[in-house]
A and B are shown apart, each in its own frame.
Chain A
Amino acid sequence: MSDAITGPQGGSPLLPEADDLYHPHSWWTRYVFSQDAKVIAIQYAGTALAIGFVALILSWFIRLQLGFPGLATFIGPAEYYQLITMHGMIMVVYMLTAVFLGGFGNYLIPLMLGARDMVFPYLNMLSYWIYLLAVLVLVASFFAPGGPTGAGWTLYPPQSILAGTPGQEWGIVLMLVSLILFIAGFTMGGVNYVVTVLQARAPGMTLMRMPLTVWGIFTATVLALLAFPALLVGAVMMLLDRLLGTSFFMPAIIEAGQRLRYGGGSPILFQHLFWFFGHPEVYIVALPAFGIVSDLISTHARKNIFGYRMMVWAILAIGVLSFVVWAHHMYVSGMNPYFGFFFATTTLIIAIPTAIKVYNWVLTLWRGDIHLTVPMLFAIAFIVTFLNGGLTGLFLGNVVVDVPLSDTMFVVAHFHMVMGVAPILVIFGGLYHWYPKVTGCMLDARLGQIHFWITFLGAYAIFFPMHYLGLLGVPRRYYETAGLGFVPPSAETLNAFISLVAFVVGAAQIVFLFNLLRSLRHGAPAGGNPWRATTLEWQTPETPPPHGNWGPALPVVYRWPYDYSVPGAPEDFVPQNQPAPVRAGAVP
């Protein structure tokens, strides 16, 4: 990336100009049925955080039962299974996927690339409304006869559509319909993100000048476009099995002494379809988090991200590898056990690019000028929890070690640490970081610190000890473990401790909500670039950026996004659109 840049390289035919945009005519088209990616981003993120809050409350009830069995008489086994199913599905799909791609993706892709908007604004708007419909259908299952499905978020047939599982009547049908809607809505948004990244970058914004946030969201979107169809197919086939009596996933079955009219289907086929989606899904959540955290660390350590090119290649390598590891969720599923050799090898290989990313984040701190702002705290906490969760993944990925641990609390602890806590810390970090751009006001740092310390230390205290319950053999998805000889009474004490911490951590999120709302009115004015960052979204002429983002002229990009503390430069950051030839050492 030499600093002698040629300037504008001619507009792409898809690069929208200000006049081409559909400008809102009324309050409705400005704030409700808006085609502005920034408004859609806020709608997506707001809806996702709201349904995420519902999932948080469900988790309180789960912990209430696990920590203090029998105390809450309204939680029976059926309710317990409904709680864990809805908590899991909401968090993975409706909250994490939607926040990262629909929220951060919509807000940041056009702004970071110097575009005026997404290339298909109408489709983008439609994407959000279908997502909202999917959420509403899901919520409706709480009020349907029989309640929501209690099949576990993995929805394994045959049990998910048989009468032994709660929510067999309506719950599972609404769940499947909601997933189908979600995927349809997501595909509209996803096509948009991909085409925008490929076609609507500002002049001078080469692919290798994109911030890692965009790289992460872009790659995750490609993964999602390839992975979600597998879930769609699975959901449609299961819906047919449930409603029309087909037998895609249903072998001959006797239920309560009655032979059902199913026969010849394969339950394990669903598991392959589910995890062909389900494993890339982990990276659909993780890659945007990787990208965002890279930018947070770089900005707040005032130092370029270490090994940018390696970071980009690592994201792409993880993306490709994530499609050949799915059956590591199925080591003890009854599939041909010789698959284990292949999938254990691919799974452990994926640890290498992932480890490189961790090294490069840590090496970015080395000889930095570290400002421990609230976003930076969350970014550091992400590294700790992601490292912890990634390392326990090496236990579960190594086929034979997985055998005793599979489906125990070790697995629950692992995936909560690595794809629950870690990405959510990034979401918080990202919100503290970009809130000033979205609203023009800073979030209160002192409330942010309180929120951070309770959330980080609490989450670690919840999930680190939980691994040891799994090592002991405590199974997951157990309504109660009373009567199991291998579970000592001390495990109950630990469970009670975990529950108490979970209540506190959950309550601490109210501090965050309060901060979000209060700062709208009372937050300190942020100015255009409060963190003194280099990337384009901080260089908009107005804050918050209006529809069209850039005023009369698009920005022109002259350098990579990590020119922090360049020797000889007057400031410790050089914006991407600053043309002055700043001596940039051995810039890649």
Chain B
Amino acid sequence: MALILVLIAIGSVAFHLLSPWWWTPIASNWSYIDTTLIITFWITGAVFIIIVLFMAYCLWRFRHRPGRRAAYEPESPRLEAWLTAVTALGIAAMLAPGLVVWSQFVRTPPDAAEIEILAQQWRWSFRLPGTDGRLGAADIRHVGDDNPLGLDPQDSAGQDDVVIDGGDLHLALGQPVKLLMRSYDVVHNFYVPEFRAKMDIIPGMVTHLWFTPSRTGSFDAICNEVCGSSHYAMRGRVVVEDEPTFRAWLDRQKTFSQRAARSTSTHEAGLHRPAIDAR
């Protein structure tokens, strides 16, 4: 048993060092999160190794032999106080940087560009502000076949909003973004492993998340909160590119009013309200 425990300690460290499975190369400003995680790895790893090896030593050194008798040692307040203090110190060493980074995580910088994400079973839609730099109002009451995001047709701020329904989301390199996330059905979660950040999306409220893309590339965006039987297939794509390429892409997208005009001409009916389910 003692030998096996030593092997477990060595094996765990070896696996950690040799593992080909490690986090994806980061593509956002949240390298602080990685740093905090590494600190935690060092502290917890050291504790694990020390305790397992100490146990292995005890099991070998104090194994039963004929005539052996255990010591009688009910407690040792000094040792216990000392261990408590060291533990508290280790905990503080992990918690303090964690809370510092969290305070950055919860405070969105004022220059962050607002982008809306609408999650539905089982796909992603996006909305970027148009030339006015503002997102127009939206509500579940306005949702229709031609208005999947439920933009308020009366709100002038929304007319120039770029609506991406079923396409990829493009982001500009180095531009902080604040994602405003909504859902019209169930709880979802927007997660791009390379950005490290994620947040649930709750129907009936708007949740948000901010980060700054730090590397160009094309990344998988996945739903990370179980949302029904096709949860695993709810995937999207985020493309990070330099500012000029991003601008050029944005200019090619249709605005809300362009989409509405096109659909009015094809359907004539325009916007309609969804029927109320009978049940």
Contacts and interface: CB of A to CB of B under 8 A. Distances in A.
Interface of A: 77-78, 81, 150-152, 156, 158-159, 162, 164-166, 245, 251-261, 264-268, 301-304, 306-310, 332-334, 337-338, 340-341, 344-345, 348-349, 351-352, 355-356, 358-360, 362-363, 365-372, 377, 380, 383-384, 387-388, 391-392, 394-395, 398-401, 403-404, 406-408, 457, 460, 464-465, 468-469, 471-473, 475, 477-481, 483-486, 488, 490-491, 494, 562, 564-567, 572, 584-588
12 contacts: A164-B121, A166-B229, A264-B204, A265-B204, A303-B72, A344-B98, A348-B91, A366-B62, A367-B70, A395-B37, A399-B99, A401-B98
Contacts of B69: 302, 369, 565, 572
B106 A338 contact: yes
B276 A572 contact: no
Contact of A468 (B21, B33, B84): B21
B76 interface: yes
A372 B202 contact: no
B166 interface: no
Contacts of B219: 485-486
A253 B184 contact: yes
Given A254-B185, A457-B4, 19 more contacts: A158-B187, A159-B226, A164-B122, A251-B203, A253-B140, A261-B276, A268-B202, A302-B69, A304-B73, A308-B74, A308-B75, A310-B75, A365-B58, A394-B43, A404-B30, A471-B21, A471-B22, A473-B193, A486-B194
B19 interface: yes
Contacts of A359: 80, 83
Contact of B198 (A301, A308, A387, A404): A404
A159 B223 CA distance: 14
Contacts of A387: 47-48, 51-52
A310 B105 CA distance: 38
A348 B20 CA distance: 30
A356 B76 CA distance: 13
A260 B275 CA distance: 9
A261 to B, nearest CB: 6
Given A356-B87, A404-B23, A479-B232, A366 B74 contact: no
A372 B59 contact: yes
Tell me which of B76, B226, B273 has the highest count of chain A C-beta atoms within 10 A of its own C-beta. B226
Contact of B62 (A77, A261, A367, A562): A367
A368 B44 contact: no
A398 B40 contact: yes
B259 interface: no
A254 B143 contact: yes
Contact of B44 (A302, A395, A406): A395
Contact of A151 (B12, B20, B64, B226): B226
B202 A334 contact: yes
A151 B47 CA distance: 37
A256 B140 CA distance: 13
Contacts of A394: 40, 43-44, 91, 94
A587 B40 contact: no
B201 interface: yes
Nearest to A304: B74
B135 to A, nearest CB: 18
B224 A407 contact: yes
Interface in B1-49: 1, 4-5, 8, 12, 15, 19-24, 30, 32-33, 36-37, 40, 43-44, 47-48
A372 B63 contact: yes
Tell me which of B1, B24, B87, B186 has the highest count of chain A C-beta atoms within 10 A of its own C-beta. B186
Interface string B217-230: 01110101111111
A584 B145 CA distance: 82
B267 interface: no
B205 to A, nearest CB: 7
A337 B106 contact: yes
Interface string B120-144: 1110000000000000000010010
Contacts of A372: 1, 59, 63-64
**Interface size class, chain B:** 35 or more
Contacts of B251: none
B199 interface: yes
A80 B143 CA distance: 32
A478 B87 CA distance: 37
B98 A362 contact: no
A497 B173 CA distance: 39
A299 to B, nearest CB: 11
A400 B21 contact: no
Contact of A267 (B8, B64, B204, B232): B204
Contacts of A564: 70, 72
Given A351-B91, A407-B189, A472-B22, A252 B62 contact: no
A159 B228 contact: yes
A435 B23 CA distance: 46
B255 to A, nearest CB: 23
A395 B38 CA distance: 10
A307 B229 contact: no
Contact of A334 (B12, B68, B186, B207): B207
B165 to A, nearest CB: 14
Nearest to B58: A365
A349 B185 CA distance: 37
A472 B23 CA distance: 4
Interface string B148-180: 000000000000000000000000000000000
- Which 8 pairs, one residue from A and one from B, show the smallest C-beta to C-beta distance? A251-B204, A473-B193, A164-B228, A159-B186, A334-B207, A391-B44, A367-B71, A365-B58
A259 B23 contact: no
Nearest to B150: A254
A341 B186 contact: no
Given A303-B71, A337-B105, A468-B21, A388 B48 contact: yes
Nearest to B275: A258
Given A351-B91, A352-B84, A365 B184 contact: no
A477 B222 CA distance: 12
Contact of A587 (B74, B120, B203): B74
Tell me which of A334, A340, A392, A408 has the highest count of chain B C-beta atoms within 10 A of its own C-beta. A334
Given A368-B58, A588-B74, A255 B185 contact: yes
Contacts of B202: 267-268, 333-334
A354 to B, nearest CB: 9
A422 to B, nearest CB: 14
Contacts of B191: 407, 473, 475
Contact of B232 (A159, A309, A480): A480
B119 to A, nearest CB: 12
Interface string B179-216: 00000111101010110111111111101000000000
Interface in B78-135: 79-80, 83-84, 87-88, 91, 94-95, 98-99, 101-103, 105-106, 120-122
Given A380-B55, A465-B15, A395 B99 contact: no
A78 B58 CA distance: 50
A333 B209 CA distance: 11
Contacts of B74: 304, 306-308, 562, 585-588
A464 B80 CA distance: 30
Contacts of B121: 164, 255-256
A401 B100 CA distance: 12
B279 interface: yes
Contacts of A484: 220, 222, 235
A365 B62 CA distance: 8
Contact of B37 (A401, A408, A480, A485): A401
B58 A253 contact: no
B277 interface: yes
Contacts of A159: 185-187, 226-228
